[in-house]
Structure 1
């Protein structure tokens, strides 16, 4: 398959399908995986940290739902289009430096910043989750 052939296809979906069929015919496999998937150990570790920091079950569950949607509990998740970063997808990510200099790598620092953000902007993680459900962002 030539590049010019792919360029002539109007729909990117069609180009992907055509490429997949051509790859399968050639004995290759194309796989799709989340670009920023967290390892189960990383995700469960971050969740355990958050649970200790947010002992109230309702607040933790709301916080967890937001983080699950935003980053899949991956502390190094980066939004390719906006540049939002971390568990809570701070934009810019450097905002989290106010919670600690290790904001790029420490889930506890990101959780602290995210919790402070949700409390100051919305009043609580539960209220932030309500806003997220209504708007698809927070």
Structure 2
């Protein structure tokens, strides 16, 4: 074969080899690129899964904390309700005991001594209790008898519609006499007992109370 033809064929073979090498390089690059792209996608998917798992863990922690907080508040509310109920029950017990005590307070009873025989009815009761309180028959005749005659006529149901005063001593208000008995509205002895106590604590004697009434129109 002529030499120039051999050279031409060799050149063609070289070019073909170069093309093949270039093609192989290109294919290798594409394959590597595809591998890198696939690997990047796998990494991104793994990162997304890890982030999702972390979010789920965070949500679970938050939900767990919320449930614990709700339970804690529920327990606290139940405790406060129990304390309030106990306080209310104690208050009701005290009121009931106070009511029972008031209801069980007996009225005043009195025995009329012979020295008071000159009086009758409510005045006889007044005389007996006056002596029992340490005063004298003179205090009764000269002071207490005229004082309460002016105030109520010794009528144990006497009521002053204007002021609200009630009973033989005209207590204002009449409910003050409940200190000596729940029957203060109907028992003259209970009223007299309270009236004498009031006179003694404020004026010392029935005569001082009578003197005040005479000068002021009240005592």
Which TM bucket (shorter chain)?
0.5 to 0.7
CA contact (8 A) 1:84 1:93 kept: yes
Cα shift at 1:100? 1.2
**1:51 aligns to what SS in structure 2?**
helix
Q: 2:155 aligns with which of 62, 66, 74?
A: 74
2:126 is matched with 50
Q: 1:78-124: per-residue Cα shift (whole Å, max 9, x none)?
A: 00111100001001000000111111000000000000000000011
What are the ranges of 5 or more consecutive residues in structure 1 without an aligned counterpart? 1-42
Count of residue pairs the alignment pairs up: 96
**Aligned residues of 1:46 and 1:107 also touching (Cα < 8 A):** yes
Per-residue CA deviations over 1:13-63 (Å, capped at 9, x if unaligned) read xxxxxxxxxxxxxxxxxxxxxxxxxxxxxx931001111112311221211
**CA distance, structure 1, for counterparts of residue 120 and residue 156 of structure 2:** 11
Task: Compare CA radii of gyration and give the structure with the larger one.
Answer: 2
CA contact (8 A) 1:58 1:126 kept: no
SS at match of 2:120: helix
Q: How do 1:2-13 residues align onto structure 2 when only pairs under 5 Å count? A: none
